[in-house]
Structure 1
Amino acid sequence: QREFYDDDYGQKVSLDFLHDYILGNYRLLYCRTLAAGINHFNQTQIVLKLLATGRATAPEHREEENRLITATLDNLPSHRAWNLLVQLRKRHINNRRARAIAKNYITSRAELLEFNAVKYRSKLRAIVAHNHLKLEDELSAFLFRHWPSRFQSELFEQFRRGHYSASAIYDLPFTIAEGLAAKHNIPRDVFLSRIEQQMTVGEKLRLQNSAEKAGIAIEIEPHRLSLTKLALYILSLSRDIRLKRRDELHKALQKSACSILKRAPIQFGRVAAVLDCSYSSSGSSEKRRRPLGIALAVHYLLRASAQEYQAFWTLPTTEPLLVIPQGQTNLADPLLSALAWQPELVLIVSDGWENDPPAGTAELLRVYRSKLDPQKKTSIIHCNPVFNANDFTLKRLSSLIPTVGLRDAEDLPVVLGFARFAEGNASLAELEEYLANRVQKVISNKRLTAN
C-alpha cells in the first residue's frame, strides 16, 4: 500500500525482491520467520512461496515447514486464508503438498463451513475445483448452483431467499447481504441503516466514512477494538468529539493496553518514549494516520507496562488524545529531553524521515554514545511503522541504534525481542536459535488448540 513517501508499486517490487532473496539464500530462516509475529500480508507471501518451491525443502526440515504452514494458515483471519488458497490456483501451484494443506484447512473448518461457503462461496468453489475435493451433497449443490426448491441448511435457505427477495437479505451477515443489496438495487443509505445490527466491529470501523457520506451514523463500541485500531478510530474523530468523550476513550485505551500485557507480559523500569506527530505521521490515503495511531497506541502500552514513564512528542502536548499530525519532523529536541530524564530505555516511534534539521538525531546520538554513554547503559531503540521501498528495509535514524519494524502496537513485545538482532551484534546462528524457540511455541500452541 501507499505510504507518505512511497507509492504502492515501489513497495510491491521491493518486498517481492526481499522475499525471493531470503527464500533463495536462507530457506530455513525464511520459513521460521512465520513464527516471528510478522504481519498477515508477509505471512501469506511466505506460505505461497514455500508451497511453490517445495522441492527445495531439506528432508530434515520438511515436517517443521509443513507444521508451520498449517499453523499459519489456521491463525490467519478467514478472508486472508481463503484468499491464500485461491492464490494457489492463480499461481498454478498444484503439487501434492499444496492440495493436502488446502484439504486439511477445509476439513478443520467443518463447524463453520456453511457460513464460509456463503460468505466466500466463489473462493471456496474455486478452491474445491482446483484441488478436486469432494464435498457433502448439499454443500456441493449450494456452491455449484444446483439449488433445490428448499435447502435443509437454515443459512443456505436464508441466502436462497435473499437471492430472490430484497427483504430477506437483512437476516444475513453484512458482507453477504451487501452483494445482494446491489443485486436488488437497494439505496446505500437504506441498506446501511437496516443492516447495522449484522455488522462486525471491523465492518463498522471500515464503513465509517461511507456511512457518514450516506447520512447514517454507525455506532462503534471502542472496548471491542484492538489497541491499534482503537487508536486509529480515536484519531479519525474530530478534536471536539475526542475532548467530549475524553474519559471514555482514555479508559478504553488503558483497558486495551492492559489486555495485551495479560497475553504477553512485559515489564519495564524507567522508560522514555520519543513520539513522532509531524505531518508525515498522517500516513497515506490507504493508511490514514497509521504512523500516528501506532505512536499513540505505544504511548498507552508503555504507560501501562513501565514503573516510570515519560512521553516526549515532536510537538509537546499534555493531552495525547487530542494529538494531530502537523509540522516538520524534529526528533533531536525531544530525544535530548528524553535523555536528560535519564531513562533506562528510550523508545523512538517515527518513520525516520527527519528534516528539522536533517540528521539532527544522528549527530546527537553520535555525541551521546561516544562522550556521555559509551557503555550503552541507556538502551535506545527506533521502532519504525513504515517500510522503506527504496532500499528494501526500514529508514534508520542512526547506525548507532537498532531500527525495528512495528506494524501494530500489539507487536511491541515481539519487536523488542528482535532489537538485539537489528543491532547486528548477534550471529545468524543466534537468530536461527531464537526463531527455532518461537517455532516450537507456535507448533505447541497449535497442538493444544487441536486437542
Structure 2
Amino acid sequence: MTDTYTDLLACEDLLLFASAAVASTGQREFHTASGEQGPSLDFLHDYVHGTLPDLYGLMLALHVNDHNAARIVHTLLSRPAPGADPALRPRENGLIRLRLARMPPQRVYRLFRRLAAERVNNRRTRAAMRDWIARRPLELDALKYRAGLRAAARHARVPLPGEVARFLFSRPADRRRAPYTAPLLESHRRAHYAARELYGLPLTVAEGFAAHHRVPRRAFLEGIAGRTTAAERLRLDRTARCHGLEAPLSDLGTAPLLRLCAYVVGLAVSERRERRAELEAALERAARRTAGPLAGTWPRTAAVLDDSYSSTGSRERRNRPLALALACHHLLRVLAPGGTSHWVSGHRDALTVRPQGPTRLAEPILDALDTGPARVVVVSDGYDDTPPLLSDALLLWRRRVDPERSVALVHLAPVLDAGVLAPHRLSPAVPTLGLHDPAVLPSLVELARFGEGRLGLADLRAHLLATADTVLDGERAGEAA
C-alpha cells in the first residue's frame, strides 16, 4: 500500500461521511433530537465537498439515502468545486440523472423549488431539470405536484403541453371552465361537481374530493382500489381490514422488504400470530426479490440483531430500527441459508419480535462467534449498556483469538450519533457503517473492508469509480432494452 498518512486520514473521513449519508435523515432518533443532526450533516457535506471534490459526487453511487442524495445533488449544481477534475464531469452528470430518477418525485420537486428560490440558474442545473421533467408523466405531476412542476418549468424554461400549461398557470376558475382532452385533467375538473369522477384520480388527490363530497370511507376504498400504488395499498391495508372489506387492498408479496417489515412490526403480536403463514410467506418472497442473484452465495453468516427498547426509534421514525433488523434477518437467511440469527433480547421467533429490554450486545455477539461463521453482521444502534466491556471483549477477540481475520465482523447502524458525526461504534476492532435500506446491505459489507485499515484512499477511489461505472452501465443497458 503506497498511501501516505494523509491519504489514510482522507479515506477514514470519506468512510465517515458515507456512513452518515447512508444512515442519517436529519430526523429525531431515540438518542438524539432532530436539531442535532442538521449541523453535523452540514459540516460533513461541506468538508468532503471542499477537501475531496472529485470523490464527493461519486458518493451518489454508494446508495446514500434520498435525504443526503438530494443534498449532494444540490451542492454539485449550486456550488461546483473549482478543483474538481473536468474528466469526471460526465460521470458525475450521469449519477445526478440516475439518482434524480430513483428519488420520489416529491423530493425532487422540493429540490428544484429550492434551486429556483436560490436562483441557481447555470446551464447544468437547467439541463438536469429539463431532462428529469421530460421523463415524467406531466398530467399526473400537474395534479399531485403542481407547485413543484410550475416552479421548475418556469426556472428551467421547460416548454409544456398546452393543457398542462393551462392547468398550471391559469386561475382556478379558468382551469375548470373548459374541458380537457387529457383524461386525468378532465377527471379532476369534473370531480369538483360529481363524486363518481374522483375514482379516475390518484389516491392522494381523490381523498380531498372524497372528503368534499362526504363519500363513506368504505365505499371510497372499494372504488379507488384500482388506482392505488403498491405502497398506498400497503398503507391502507389495515384501514381496509378495519372497515371489513372482504379482500384486502394490498398484495403483501409485492411490497419492498423494508416497507413490509415496517408494516409487520406495526401489527399487534396477536395479529402476527394469527396471520403467520401469510406474513412469513410474504417476507420470504420480499427477501428473495431483494437478494436477487446473490441468493445463496454468501458464506456461513451469523446475524446479531438489536431488538432492545431503543429499537422503537422516534415519533418520526417509529419502529424503523427494529424493522431494519427484521429485514436484515430475512435477507441474510436468503443470502446465507446456513446462517444463524441472534436477537439481543434472546427472542427466538422473528415474526413476533418487539422492542424490549436493555441493549446488551456482548453476549449475543460472542454466541454468534461460537457458531463458527465466516462473517458476522451486527445490526444495532451501537448504544450498548456496558460499552467498555463490549469494546474490550471485541479487541481481545480480534487480537488474541482471530488475529488473521478469518472471520469478517461488520457493524451496521441505522442511526447517526450527531456528537461524533458518525454512527456509534462498538469497538475500534469492528468497522461501522450506516444502514438505511436492507437492499444495500451486500454493498455495505463490501465497503466495510476499507474500515479495517488495510486498504487506503487509492483503493477506495478505485472502488468508487468502479461502482459508479457499474451503476451507470447497468442504467444504460436498461434504457437500451
- TM-score bracket, shorter-length normalisation: over 0.9
TM-superposed deviation, 1:440: 0.9
Match of 2:63 in 1: 37
Q: Which of 111, 129, 144 pairs up with 1:119?
A: 144
Alpha-carbon RMSD across the aligned residues, in angstroms, is 2.3
Note the alpha carbon deviations across 1:90-132, whole angstroms, 9 max, x for none: 33211121111111111233xx222222222221111111222
TM-superposed deviation, 1:181: 4.1
Match of 2:93 in 1: 66
Q: Which moved more, 1:162-171 or 1:316-325?
A: 162-171
What amino acid sits opposite 1:300 in the alignment?
A: H
Q: Which moved more, 1:187-196 or 1:342-351?
A: 187-196
Q: Which of 325, 339, 349 pairs up with 1:309?
A: 339
Match of 1:200 in 2: 229
TM-superposed deviation, 1:9: 1.1
What amino acid sits opposite 2:228 in the alignment?
A: M
2 CA distance for matches of 1:424 and 1:187?
61
Q: Secondary structure at the match of 2:341?
A: strand
Percent identical pairs in the alignment equals 38
Q: Secondary structure at the match of 2:387?
A: coil
TM-superposed deviation, 1:21: 1.0
Match of 1:380 in 2: 409
1 CA distance for matches of 2:89 and 2:334?
41
Contact 1:32–1:439 (CA<8 Å) still a contact in 2?
yes
Q: Which of 6, 16, 21 pairs up with 2:42?
A: 16
Q: Are residues 1:350 and 2:376 paired?
A: no
TM-score (norm 1): 0.93
Q: Which of 157, 162, 169 pairs up with 2:186?
A: 157
Match of 1:75 in 2: 102
Residue correspondence of structure 1 range 29-428 to structure 2 within 5 A: 29-54=55-80, 56=82, 57-109=84-136, 112-145=137-170, 146-147=174-175, 149-181=178-210, 194-206=223-235, 211=239, 219-262=249-292, 264=294, 267-355=297-385, 357-428=386-457
Note the alpha carbon deviations across 1:43-94, whole angstroms, 9 max, x for none: 1110011000136343222222222211221222322222222221133211
Q: Which moved more, 1:369-378 or 1:222-231?
A: 369-378
Note the alpha carbon deviations across 1:153-181, whole angstroms, 9 max, x for none: 11111111113434422321101223444
Q: Which moved more, 1:200-209 or 1:392-401?
A: 200-209
2 CA distance for matches of 1:29 and 1:185?
54
Change (3 A) 1:128 1:163: farther
Unaligned runs of 5+ in 2: 1-26
Q: Which moved more, 1:381-390 or 1:258-267?
A: 258-267
Contact 1:272–1:311 (CA<8 Å) still a contact in 2?
yes
Change (3 A) 1:293 1:192: same
Q: Which moved more, 1:314-323 or 1:74-83?
A: 74-83
Change (3 A) 1:28 1:216: farther
2 CA distance for matches of 1:203 and 1:375?
49
Note the alpha carbon deviations across 1:286-344, whole angstroms, 9 max, x for none: 11111111111111111112142111111122211011110001111111211222211
2 CA distance for matches of 1:360 and 1:401?
14
Q: Which moved more, 1:391-400 or 1:438-447?
A: 438-447
Contact 2:288–2:334 (CA<8 Å) still a contact in 1?
yes
Q: Secondary structure at the match of 2:454?
A: coil
Contact 1:223–1:252 (CA<8 Å) still a contact in 2?
yes
Change (3 A) 1:346 1:77: same
Change (3 A) 1:14 1:163: farther
What amino acid sits opposite 1:17 in the alignment?
A: F
Contact 2:374–2:407 (CA<8 Å) still a contact in 1?
yes
Match of 2:33 in 1: 7
Change (3 A) 1:156 1:69: same
Change (3 A) 1:55 1:3: closer
Q: Secondary structure at the match of 1:272?
A: strand
1 CA distance for matches of 2:98 and 2:212?
37
Higher relative CO (Cα under 8 Å, sequence separation at least 6) belongs to 2
What amino acid sits opposite 1:365 in the alignment?
A: L
1 CA distance for matches of 2:454 and 2:211?
57
TM-superposed deviation, 1:36: 1.0
TM-superposed deviation, 1:423: 2.3
Change (3 A) 1:118 1:444: same
2 CA distance for matches of 1:308 and 1:426?
30
Q: Secondary structure at the match of 1:382?
A: strand
Q: Secondary structure at the match of 1:54?
A: coil
2 CA distance for matches of 1:150 and 1:82?
27
Q: Are residues 1:26 and 2:52 paired?
A: yes
Q: Which moved more, 1:196-205 or 1:46-55?
A: 196-205
Q: Secondary structure at the match of 2:301?
A: strand
Change (3 A) 1:224 1:51: same
2 CA distance for matches of 1:213 and 1:266?
36
Contact 2:144–2:205 (CA<8 Å) still a contact in 1?
yes
What amino acid sits opposite 2:52 in the alignment?
A: Y
Match of 2:11 in 1: none
Query: Number of residue pairs matched?
Result: 447
